[in-house]
A and B are shown apart, each in its own frame.
Chain A
Amino acid sequence: MTTRSRAPEATAVPATSAASAASADEGSPAPRPAALEARGLTLAYDGHEVLTGLDLAVEPGTVTTLVGANGSGKSTLLKAFGRLLSPAAGEVRLHGAPLKGQSARQVARQLAILPQKPLTPGATRVRDLVSRGRHPHQSMLRPWTAADARAVEEALEATGLSELAERDAASLSGGQLQRAWIALVLAQDAPTILLDEPTTFLDLSHQLDVLRIVRRINRRRGATVVMVLHDLTLAARFSDRLVVLADGGVVADGAPWDVLTPEVLRTAFGLEASVIADPHTGGPLVVPHEPEDETEQHPEVGNQVR
């Protein structure tokens, strides 16, 4: 957990994971460069700053999830990592090299991004949609090869879409379609993958489907994953590290149990909640309180149906 989250400005909650903060001291030379690194990154829309002077390094081979309230800048940060948004100040480094100045194709071979609202084309079979992921590996001089076909079949296999490969993409259900998009990103075969709210609009079982696939990609291929999620419990369950964004910077950063504390939830989300151990997985489970409720001794009130 090598964070260099010198959580900026006054609102910062003290770094929750002392161990991780210590190991990330400037002095200790990293054995390999961070998969992605933000240095003094300031991001703005039309002059309005969303994130200011952010430093963050993502260790290779981990799953990092950005969480935060609406408007906290988590998708904005992901866009900057994916060069969909150019920084107002500072820079993003990909495997040690600045993103700026690298060719679009060169970056696309190392970094895949699934944005929030991709457009599903008409009259396109699932296999053809997934094949588009091979774009950065192709050129006029290097047409479709057996390696491209293999990458596509593997991606279909990994997302459980082999049976649906001949279907029209527009005819898929929401969960199937999202898996097809994940397959496209997989076919791109980049070591680092960015996913912007990959579970939005899916029911719980399909959310789990998608996140299990993401975890498997991380474990089997050693891919680095950075994603944005809204559901804190799912984020904790499928991530090595959570980065909580609020007020233009990082307010907490570390392992799920260290980050998801009542204080952080209050600071970042304005939410009064308890964090209990999930009886099944042992992971942190966020239980929001009802506003009038003052007792934290009865976690079951959080489940009350009104």
Chain B
Amino acid sequence: MRGTLTPRLWATTLGAALAAGVLLVAGILAGSSDLGVGDVLHTLFVGGDRTDYFIVFELRMPRVAAAVLVGASLGMAGALTQAFSRNPLATPDILGVTSGAAAGAVATIVLGGGAYAVGAGLLGFGLPVVACAGGLLTAALVYGLSWRSGVDSYRLILIGIGVTAALTGVVNYLVVRAQLTQAAAATQWLVGSLSGVSWTSVWPVAVTLLVVAPLALGQTRALEVGQLGDDVSVGLGVSLQRHRLVVLACAVVLTSVAVSAAGPIEFVAFVAPQVARRLAGSSRPPLVASALVGAALVTAADIVGRALMPWPVPVGIVTAVVGAPYLIWLLTRRSSAERTASA
């Protein structure tokens, strides 16, 4: 559609891609170990000893790849929910995905070590699978509860908030009941971390992104028209229920898989689309640019957390430290803009 691919959006997309690319390389070169940049380059292009090879190919590369892919997934999922709901505060979290994944993961960690049959059973599937299933099931539950001869966005958001609150209670209960080491493991997962990421946890995120992103991009024009309101969308030939289902399913799958790989990394799905929208000067968050900004954001946060801090800081903490002030700034700016508008 005319007006969606402006030169400024192209520039934003290319700029974000460049930033993500540079950060990806930087993430492989930089690290906390005494492996210098020269050693890494030597290992990459000439070949190093077994330890160097292991650090570069089995630790840093999957970690950086996970950062890029998780960031891109969260960024695109956030762009989908924000554009769809026409609300910059609507992230996939409101659909209950994150809390569902967290409940699944924490239940596995806390109950898995003990004598509980259910925990052992869950652990058998592996943490990422249970987390992903928890996210998908919760989103399906929220969608199902919102259904009354069609799904209304407002009802969906309210039910999402309710279900999220209930599941947060479950997570807190599990953590309180857990033994100290399990509670620590659960808390670390809840913060969102890329330490301990291996190639096996990267592949699912990559495949998901490859499959879901084209589906999501197919909704671009409907999202654009959707900015004019639901009634106008229908008038312009958007099949609203199908569009809603596809957009939400894409957002939910992207988020569930990303969260299952790295835990709920805070604020990425919220901040990345807003940054991309402001840079591109568009009426809604652009999907591809938001994904690339998300990739750059998570990769940068991970580099900061593991290479620039005196001790390793989980990536989720870094994004929260950046994201929270941004949220507050956005809220105060919005409310003052609304005051001027109504004055």
- A interface vs B, CB < 8 Å? 79, 82-84, 103-109, 111-115, 117-125, 127-129, 131-136, 138, 140, 144, 148-149, 152, 185, 188
Contact = CB atoms under 8 A, between A and B. Distances in A.
A95 to B, nearest CB: 16
A149 to B, nearest CB: 8
Nearest to A127: B3
Given A124-B283, A132-B236, A133-B236, A117 B2 contact: no
A144 B1 contact: yes
Given A109-B237, A113-B234, A135-B221, 13 more contacts: A83-B234, A104-B234, A104-B239, A111-B235, A112-B235, A114-B232, A115-B229, A118-B228, A132-B224, A132-B228, A135-B1, A138-B221, A149-B2
B231 to A, nearest CB: 4
Contact of A140 (B2, B218, B227, B238): B218
Contacts of B306: none
A144 B2 contact: yes
Contacts of B155: none
Contact of A132 (B86, B225, B282): B225
B3 A121 contact: no
Interface in B258-314: 281-284
Contacts of B232: 114-115, 118-119
A277 B321 CA distance: 72
Interface string B175-199: 0000000000000000000000000
Given A117-B229, A134-B1, A138-B1, A123 B281 contact: yes
A102 to B, nearest CB: 10
Interface residues of B, number: 24
A185 B235 CA distance: 9
B280 to A, nearest CB: 9
A104 to B, nearest CB: 4
**Pairs A-B, 7 closest by C-beta atoms:** A108-B237, A128-B3, A115-B231, A136-B237, A105-B237, A113-B235, A121-B283
B236 A188 contact: yes
Given A123-B282, A131-B1, A144-B2, A136 B229 contact: no
Interface string B1-22: 1110000000000000000000
Contacts of B236: 108, 132-133, 135-136, 188
A220 B283 CA distance: 34
B3 to A, nearest CB: 3
B62 to A, nearest CB: 35
Contact of B239 (A79, A103, A123, A134): A103
Most chain A beta carbons < 10 A, residue from B218, B227, B235, B281: B235
Contacts of B224: 132
Nearest to A135: B236
15 contacts: A79-B231, A82-B231, A114-B232, A114-B235, A115-B235, A118-B232, A119-B86, A119-B229, A123-B282, A125-B3, A132-B228, A134-B1, A185-B235, A188-B235, A188-B236
A140 B283 CA distance: 21
A111 B225 CA distance: 16
A171 to B, nearest CB: 12
A172 B283 CA distance: 16
A82 B235 contact: yes
Nearest to A144: B2
Contacts of B234: 82-84, 104, 113
Nearest to A115: B231
Interface string B298-339: 000000000000000000000000000000000000000000
A123 B224 CA distance: 12
Interface string B211-226: 0000000100100110
A136 B221 CA distance: 10
Given A82-B235, A131-B3, A121 B281 contact: no
A121 B227 contact: yes
B2 A134 contact: yes
A108 B225 CA distance: 13
A140 B222 CA distance: 11
Given A84-B231, A140-B218, A122 B283 contact: yes
Contacts of B283: 121-124
Most chain B beta carbons < 10 A, residue from A119, A120, A127, A133: A119
Given A119-B228, A121-B283, A121-B284, A132 B237 contact: no
Nearest to A194: B235
B135 to A, nearest CB: 29
A185 B237 CA distance: 12
A129 B225 CA distance: 9
A165 B284 CA distance: 20
B228 A108 contact: no
A118 B231 contact: yes
Given A128-B2, A128-B3, A138-B221, A121 B228 contact: yes
